[in-house]
């Protein structure tokens, strides 16, 4: 972990929204991508904070304060980047994505960053946050019919719910592309929980690559039509 990431983690633990955002904003002005900020600053800082909780150096309240502060930073960054995209008059993508955490999963910063990545590629994003019961996910998917459904699992005891979610969502009549993201992918064999058609993402770099490849395929299809 870099000194900058540790500084950001300490700002989160102190609930210092002003300086936490300034740190991120300065990186963007210096030419770093939002993806770099998500992966190397926010994610790594939260992993460090989780480690501090595991060794009893901070409390659950401290961790919640840090998460809330990170949430504020991401929301403000998303709004400012969105304004930049509007000013540059980027073409709106017709594709829609629905993102959420499965029932009982309260660790939502990762899926929120994934939502931001989709937004920055001009997708129509429906971000539903943490702890979404399956029946509500199905109802929303049937109503909105997103092209992609992306959900997240962070805590290992929620893994047993994955096959139920996958099976139910794959049975939707219109057949969306399913994605699952988790920091647990390096520890568990996720292929045991999902079907061969589900895309498994270990980080936001992989997600960004998939979105870009999808855009290239769409552009090629337009060329030949």
Listed residue (147, 114, 111) closest to 129, CA to CA: 111
Q: Are strands 96-101 and 124-127 parallel, antiparallel or unpaired?
A: parallel
Which pLDDT does position 83 carry in this prediction?
76
CA quadruple 210, 211, 213, 214: dihedral, nearest 10: 110
* This prediction's pTM: 0.92
Listed residue (93, 130, 94) closest to 110, CA to CA: 130
Distance between CA atoms of 161 and 90, rounded to whole angstroms? 38
Which pLDDT does position 82 carry in this prediction?
81
Question: How confident is the prediction along the chain (225 residues), in pLDDT tens digits per residue?
Answer: 899 999 999 999 999 999 999 999 999 999 999 999 999 999 999 999 999 999 999 999 999 999 999 999 999 999 998 876 665 555 566 799 999 999 999 999 999 999 999 999 999 999 999 999 999 999 999 999 999 999 999 999 999 999 999 999 999 999 999 999 999 998 898 988 898 999 999 999 999 999 999 888 877 766 666
């Amino acid at each position: 972990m870099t000194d900058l990431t540790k500084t950001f983690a300490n700002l989160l633990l102190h609930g210092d929204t002003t300086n936490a955002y300034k740190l991120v904003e300065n990186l963007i002005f210096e030419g770093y991508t939002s993806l770099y900020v998500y992966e190397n600053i926010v994610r790594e800082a939260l992993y460090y904070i989780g480690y501090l909780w595991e060794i009893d150096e901070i409390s659950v309240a401290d961790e919640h304060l840090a998460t809330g502060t990170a949430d504020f930073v991401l929301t403000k960054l998303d709004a400012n980047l969105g304004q930049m995209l509007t000013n540059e008059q980027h073409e709106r993508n017709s594709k829609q994505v629905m993102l959420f955490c499965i029932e009982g999963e309260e660790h939502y910063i990762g899926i929120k960053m994934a939502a931001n990545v989709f937004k920055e590629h001009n997708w129509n994003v429906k971000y539903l946050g943490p702890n979404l019961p399956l029946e509500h996910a199905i109802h929303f998917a049937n109503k909105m019919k997103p092209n992609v459904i992306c959900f997240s699992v962070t805590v290992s005891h929620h893994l047993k719910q994955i096959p139920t979610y996958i099976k139910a969502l794959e049975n939707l009549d219109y057949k969306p592309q399913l994605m699952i993201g988790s920091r647990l992918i390096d520890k568990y064999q996720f292929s045991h929980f999902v079907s061969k058609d589900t895309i498994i993402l270990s980080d936001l770099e992989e997600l960004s690559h998939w979105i870009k490849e999808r855009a290239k395929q769409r552009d090629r299809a337009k060329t030949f039509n």
